[in-house]
Amino acid sequence: MTHLRLPAPAKLNLMLHILGRRPDGYHELQTLFQFLDYSDELIFSPRSDGQIQLLTDLPGVPSDSNLIVRAARLLQQATGCTQGADIQLVKRLPMGGGIGGGSSDAATTLLGLNHLWGLNRSLAELAELGLKLGADVPVFVQGQAAFAEGIGERLTPVELPEPWFLVAIPPVSVSTAEIFSAPELTRNTPASTVRTVLKCGGRNDCQPVVEKRYPEISNALILLNKFTSAKLTGTGCCIFGAFSEEAEAKAVSAQLPEDLPSFVAQGCNESPLHTALKAQIEISSYLG
Ligand SMILES: C[C@](O)(CO)[C@H](O)COP(=O)(O)OP(=O)(O)OC[C@H]1O[C@@H](n2ccc(N)nc2=O)[C@H](O)[C@@H]1O
Ligand SMILES: Nc1ncnc2c1ncn2[C@@H]1O[C@H](COP(=O)(O)OP(=O)(O)OP(=O)(O)O)[C@@H](O)[C@H]1O
């Protein structure tokens, strides 16, 4: 195989409840994850010298800290694999956006290199490895819309409607660690069941904290709420609203001011990464 090109899709947290804080500082939460058909892209080419080279510079992120390089090295260590790779990144997902860009890049790297290097590791093994890189990585590895518990790693797959989402990107970057360490964050929401959440929805406990600290986000929510019910994803900065028709979402997107960029993408219960990998595997077996 000469190279492998795969998407690293965004996610939305359709609700996010914080139940408590563990002794290690991580938070027990309940969240509903759905993927978006809107992705970074990664292109992997094999190297025989064992080196991992990220060919694309990501401003502000040294290569050794990039989750792509960290995921590739973790996979080498865990499997004893001596192969390497050159990796290119086409970055589309806003960083610090709450749509999981870094975590998704990490998951695509784990699945992509598992395939390229012929390691045959299961999704469960790769998800366990991914959790070492971040709480959001396992859902991207498993690739199914899910109700997540624990710190985000205990996943129950769910079937959700797949509306069109308008995602607006207020011009601020929010640090996840900052919001989770805010003293004023609600940390005692009672546990719910997946059934209740699917029936009644839920809120994002991070939203009041983020709105207070980032007026740009609170103003964007006021604006989008004029068209549809809008909510924060993760710890922000992105906000979203659902529409049954793509054209309707695009018409609203076109009416937003220039300083509030946005995109429209469909919600997906199967990750576009898994759809692309299945197609890739079919092509490989066809070509022998
Ligand atoms: C906000 C969410 O995106 C919702 O899906 C996730 O909970 C965050 O996932 P993530 O960005 O992959 O998080 P990590 O990279 O593991 O952690 C970033 C920071 O968020 C905090 N963090 C994260 C997840 C969690 N359940 N509790 C936490 O307190 C930790 O302080 C950590 O320092
Ligand atoms: N490949 C990568 N893409 C984006 N960010 C990366 C990557 N590797 C490391 N990072 C670091 O991770 C930080 C968070 O980036 P990311 O885009 O994942 O935020 P996020 O969407 O808010 O994440 P989440 O929703 O998982 O909390 C960045 O500010 C950057 O320092």
Task: Annotate 155-205 with DSSP letters as a single string.
Answer: EEE------EEEEE--S----HHHHHT-TTS---PPP--HHHHHHH---BT
Residue 152 assigned to a binding site: no
- 136 assigned to active site: yes
Domains 4-159+272-287 and 164-268 share a fold: no
| Structure confidence at residue 288 (pLDDT) | 65
**Domain spans in the chain, listed from the N-terminal domain onward:** 4-159+272-287, 164-268
Percent of the chain with pLDDT over 90: 96
Determine contact, residues 38/263, Cβ cutoff 8 Å: yes
**Tokens 């695009």, residue?**
250
Question: Over 80: is that where the pLDDT of 186 sits?
Answer: yes
Q: Which of 11, 40, 105, 205 is catalytic?
A: 11
Whether residue 96 has its Cβ less than 6 Å from ligand 2: yes
Beta-carbon-side half-sphere exposure of residue 33 (alpha carbons within 13 Å): 33
Domain 164-268 = CATH 3.40.50.800: no
| Structure confidence at residue 243 (pLDDT) | 98
H helix or E strand, kind and range, residue 8: strand 4-21
Which ranges of the chain does DSSP label H, i.e. alpha helix? 67-79, 101-116, 123-131, 137-142, 176-180, 194-200, 207-213, 215-224, 246-255, 272-287
Question: Over 80: is that where the pLDDT of 286 sits?
Answer: no
Which tens digits make up the pLDDT trace of 110-150? Answer: 999 999 999 999 999 999 999 999 999 999 999 999 999 99
Q: Which two tokens stand for residue 138?
A: 């396992």
Nearest partner of 91 among 36, 39, 40, judged by Cα: 40
Question: Over 90: is that where the pLDDT of 266 sits?
Answer: yes
Whether residue 172 has its Cβ less than 6 Å from ligand 2: no
Beta bridge partners of 61: 58
| pTM strictly above 0.90 | yes
| Structure confidence at residue 285 (pLDDT) | 76
Which tens digits make up the pLDDT trace of 74-115? Answer: 999 999 999 999 999 999 999 999 999 999 999 999 999 999
Pocket test residue of 26, 41, 44, 67 for ligand 2, highest count of atoms within 8 A of CB:
67
Which tens digits make up the pLDDT trace of 206-227? Answer: 999 999 999 999 999 999 999 9
**Cα–ligand 2 centroid distance for 225 (angstroms):** 27
Whether residue 79 has its Cβ less than 6 Å from ligand 2: no
| Structure confidence at residue 1 (pLDDT) | 62
Residue 50 assigned to a binding site: no
- Give the whole-angstrom CA distance, residue 16 versus residue 51: 39
Whether residue 232 has its Cβ less than 6 Å from ligand 1: no
The pLDDT of 260-265, averaged and rounded, is: 98
Which tens digits make up the pLDDT trace of 102-111? Answer: 999 999 999 9
User: Running DSSP on this structure, what letter comes out for residue 61?
Assistant: B
Whether residue 67 has its Cβ less than 6 Å from ligand 2: yes
**Cα–ligand 1 centroid distance for 61 (angstroms):** 18
- 250 assigned to active site: no
Nearest partner of 242 among 230, 256, 233, 252, judged by Cα: 230
> Strands 146-149 and 262-268, how do they pair?
unpaired
Which tens digits make up the pLDDT trace of 35-67? Answer: 999 999 999 999 999 999 999 999 999 999 999
Whether residue 152 has its Cβ less than 6 Å from ligand 2: no
- Give the whole-angstrom CA distance, residue 83 versus residue 133: 21
**Cα–ligand 1 centroid distance for 46 (angstroms):** 32
Q: Which of 105, 136, 205, 231 is catalytic?
A: 136
How far from chain centre, in Å, is Cα 100? 3
Confidence of residue 281 (pLDDT cuts 50, 70, 90): confident
Determine contact, residues 170/215, Cβ cutoff 8 Å: no
Return the ligand 2 atom nearest residue 233 CA.
Answer: 25
What architecture is domain 4-159+272-287? Answer: 2-Layer Sandwich (3.30)
Average pLDDT, the chain: 96
**Phi and psi for 133 in degrees, rounded to 5?**
-95, -25
